Amino acid sequence: MAKILVKGVNWIGDSLFMTPALAALRKGFPNSHISLLINPWVREIFDGNPNVDEIIIYDERGKEKTLKGKSRFIQSLRNRNFDMGIIMQPRSYKAALFVYLSRIPQRIGYSHSLRNLLLTRRVEPPTAPLHDIDMFLNIVLSLGVAPARKEPYLPFSPKADDWADRFLEERGVNKGELLIGINPGAFKQSKRWPEPRYAELSDILIKEFKAKVIIFQGPGEDEIIEKVVSLMREKAIIVKAGIKELSALSRKCKLFVGNDTGPMHVAAASGTPVIALFGPADPQRSRPWGRDHVIIKKDLPCSPCSRVVCKEPTCMESITVEDVLQAVQSQLKRTEKSKGGALVTNRG
């Protein structure tokens, strides 16, 4: 039995986009043992994934932070005698070096600069922008594997679903009420829509659309959420949730509005229509997968860019509350029309 190690990616959205590649790998190597090496903060995405036999956690912010911890971890991988290592990060020299030092004989990844010396099979990067799902798939397809379905896979959790039902019931949300999810946070400051606009949007959704608004708060986002809530006149529901709980709650929402970040992709993968606010990133590469979603982006000469922090984030600030409200109204009309219902709001 061949033993395959997949060196995963670091972010929630990217991890979801990687799941079709794992499905294709399983289809092409049905009798192999597939181990997935990931950081602990994305583990919930892969728990219960049938295309992964084993999850190996590499905690680079914890016990593997030191050189001694890294050396010990690499030695543990050497002892596993993997036959093949697949590096999903398209340009990371460190990821390729990690697999190389683990003495895995076959090492597959995208061709990029000096890391080519560490690979035994180099995949040529695309010349035109590709969605990240296709980027990850291409690595696996280079092994002669037939493509699988491209939809991101996020397992349904009955336990999290029961929790979501109780959470909403305890906060007075009745079944059938219009529930809209809002996600104001993002790891990169450059990707955040201004907090005052999220506050204004939420107030209008509550007052004019008669919606219950649930604001999702991620780790380290206390200040962002506190600012949004302090600027609101109406009352929203605030929740700190893990990935499975986020998925379960977003399934209860009629719509999810958020920045280009992990929670938005979790909502999309959970089947909830999404309105995604894009600024510095290229939607061709990282848009939510599927046809039920709306992308709001202003084309500017400086976009796309890769800045984490931007002193003048015009790309995000140029998106107006009215832009988002029009998308909300359009999405709600579409969903109600498909059910034969009618959307009623206090807007003219």
pLDDT digits (tens, 9 = 90+) for 53-92: 999 999 888 888 899 999 999 999 999 999 999 999 999 9
Q: Are 181 and 253 in contact (CB under 8 A)?
A: yes
Instruction: Please report which residue ranges of 174-231 form alpha helices under DSSP H.
Output: 195-207, 222-231
Q: Mind listing the domains of the chain with CATH numbers?
A: 3-141 (3.40.50.2000), 159-338 (3.40.50.2000)
304 cis-preceded (ω within 30 degrees of 0): yes
108: nearest Cα among 93, 91, 124, 87: 87
Q: How confident is the model at residue 334 (pLDDT cuts 50, 70, 90)?
A: confident
Examine the pLDDT at 342 and tell me if it is beyond 50. Answer: no
Q: How confident is the model at residue 199 (pLDDT cuts 50, 70, 90)?
A: very high
52 vs 126: CA distance, rounded Å: 27
Would you state the pLDDT for residue 337? 64
271-285 in b/e form (b: 16+ CB < 10 A) is ebbbbbbbbbbbbee
Q: How confident is the model at residue 344 (pLDDT cuts 50, 70, 90)?
A: very low
**Both structure tokens of 273:** 């229509």
35 vs 28: CA distance, rounded Å: 15
pLDDT greater at residue 302 or residue 345:
302
Q: How large is the average pLDDT for residues 120-139? A: 94
Q: What angle do CA 137, 247, 17 make, to 5 degrees?
A: 10
Q: How large is the average pLDDT for residues 215-222? A: 94
Q: How confident is the model at residue 348 (pLDDT cuts 50, 70, 90)?
A: very low
* Span of 135-149, 224-238, 301-315 with lowest mean pLDDT: 301-315
pLDDT digits (tens, 9 = 90+) for 157-176: 999 999 999 999 999 999 88
The CA-based dihedral angle spanning residues 225, 230, 232, 236, taken in that order and rounded to the nearest 10 degrees: 50
283 vs 222: CA distance, rounded Å: 27
User: What mean pLDDT, rounded, does the chain reach?
Assistant: 92
